[in-house]
Amino acid sequence: MKIGPKFKIAKRLGAPVFEKTQTQKFALSEARAGKRRTKRPRQVSDYSKQLTEKQKMRYTYGITEKQLRRYVDEAVSKSNQPINLLMERLESRLDNVVYRLGLAKTRQASRQMVAHGHIFVNGRRLGIPSHRTRVGDVITVREGSKGSGLFQTIVEDHSAAGVPSWLTFDLKKLSGEKKSEPTYVPSETLFDPELILEYYSR
């Protein structure tokens, strides 16, 4: 998915939706911008709020409008708790799992890893970033890729604390497993899924 200037998009949305904007530099820039804003901000419509939250979700996971619409439709039709199912589907994407395991520093990098054939699922190469992983799936780095520049510094750079509880990761083997389905934790997201569902229910 082609994305425009990331700093401008993040500033417009008011959230560090890209990894490169999750920095002190971006936070200071936002703080300075806040001081320059007028004391009486303009009224924001419900539609505008919903649209902003939808864009935050899209850019966070790097998915297209069509993909997000499909995830939302599935969540609404298949569950009486659509928010939980929507977040479960997004977090279960193979590119996101590779990112969550710490094999890539950004979701964009993890998508490229998957698309270029560096990642195996249950011993089989999968080149589809949107592939839905399931409980029990074992995600590994292709043996021939372990010596590439992509993974040479992972032992020094990897942070075990960053791996969520629904995943396990063996740093020596560069192998992870999905132990359970991910759960939605509101405090860990940059967007409001409820407003996103409202946007698509119009």
Q: How far apart are CA 119 and CA 35, in angstroms?
A: 46
Domains of the chain, by residue range, sit at 6-34+44-89+188-200, 93-178
Average pLDDT, the chain: 87
Class at the top of the CATH hierarchy for domain 93-178: alpha beta
* Contact call for residues 1 and 18 (beta carbons, < 8 A): no
On the question of a common fold for 6-34+44-89+188-200 and 93-178, the answer reads: no
Q: How far apart are CA 198 and CA 46, in angstroms?
A: 9
How big is the CA angle at 157 (ends 152 and 162), to the nearest 5 degrees?
A: 130
pLDDT (average), residues 164-179: 96
Strands 138-141 and 119-121 turn out to be antiparallel
Residue 159 — very low, low, confident or very high, per pLDDT cuts 50/70/90?
confident
How does pLDDT run across 56-72, given as a tens digit for each residue?
A: 999 999 999 999 999 99
Q: Which of 103, 91, 179 is nearest to 141 (CA)?
A: 103
Fold for domain 6-34+44-89+188-200?
Ribosomal Protein S4 Delta 41; Chain A, domain 1 (1.10.1050)
